[in-house]
Structure 1
């Protein structure tokens, strides 16, 4: 590693710079299954540092193998997303009901993690982060949760199925207004909570929290014959590609890391200006 590379890593750690891209891959150690994953992050054209963070790994817990995949898309700074990368899965797995009431455990962990983020507002700043998480249990059971507009899409027999929910302010206008907030809808702009945030659910965002939810939508999906791949990506991808377009563009690519890079490159070619983070899990 050169001195320039070391300096860049120090800058990223300190929050005063960002690498333009990052990539990686891994695979399941289950002998009866061939599951691989790859990820790609590309910094957008904004002047601020990279605000997306990714988790993509397999981990042995008790007698099970867990695939832990997540994308955290920060806004107004990257500290909340960085905190989530380090703590959210840890908090989920420490829930006493994780193995018996997984959906409830995830919801509780999301809530408690958000509470801790708000308590650390002086340290973490006024920003926030969306999140989409996927936990793959023994290669058979997939549990997806999300707040915000990062998205999880699974492909079965060539057909794309969205597992997450896009938490758009317009969609949750009545809930926001019931809490005393409002949704702006100015010409040429997207709907925003209190005229500020373009998502109705997120971690952090202390100044908006009275009108903003951090409760995730959670769904369980079984991995069946015909399941080809899972895509997790930030809105930097989904702003320029539909679910089916994303699936169609990588079905022929067997290497998960190459598939993730292909999606990021395609988003760039379609003039996406936002940070782009993408994880692809392939079920061979």
Structure 2
């Protein structure tokens, strides 16, 4: 796992305030966050041996983040401690709909060194067939990760969030791209409104060397495009209370399933279940389900 580590400061209220307005909220939490850390927790809870490559600052939030990762069995020996503050995210959740908005401040994540990432990947290569990556670290880190994974033959799964244009050379090192519909539109220029447009957006990634594309569409399911064609996977029916980290739960569970050698349809089903279950609990990392919870949910379905 190469990615961001932050502490999430989350408030829930309904309605959320408009500019210049003050409202009274329902709850406030301070927990581990960051897309990289969330996906590391998701992979670990899914049963995968997981190593985190990232950076934290020298402040009280660093201890909170590292202790939370260790609690889930994530190896943090490749997490660098740098001067300054640990990354933070301010998350607002509408307690009626479960929808959220997020302001992410990278802080220490911006100091993650590409050379450190390359060293970690080379050390982990013999036992880590799948690498997960997001875009909450510097572009130089993304480039180094893609290049090193290509050199070592590692399967790189990229969750391109927050969405931004990337150099063409990145895509040659990506085995799996896992955007949501908004991210796919930002990157490819194709507005995703149905399965056909999702397939067109996915082809953009395939044309640039990506092997598989898994395009998530929230409550409308997932469109998978790869060598065997296009598959439209319906979403599991749940009542969401907080959508924070649902995509991270999906990506981490999918990476763990692929690393375990599960059949592709089984891996996708487990990932979809993990993402759905994450919306039924509050918080980012606290909402991510375990393998046993996914098993129980899927039993009989």
| TM-score normalised per structure 2 | 0.32
Structure with the bigger percentage of helix: 2
- Structure with greater contact order relative to length (CA < 8 Å, sep ≥ 6): 1
| TM-score normalised per structure 1 | 0.33
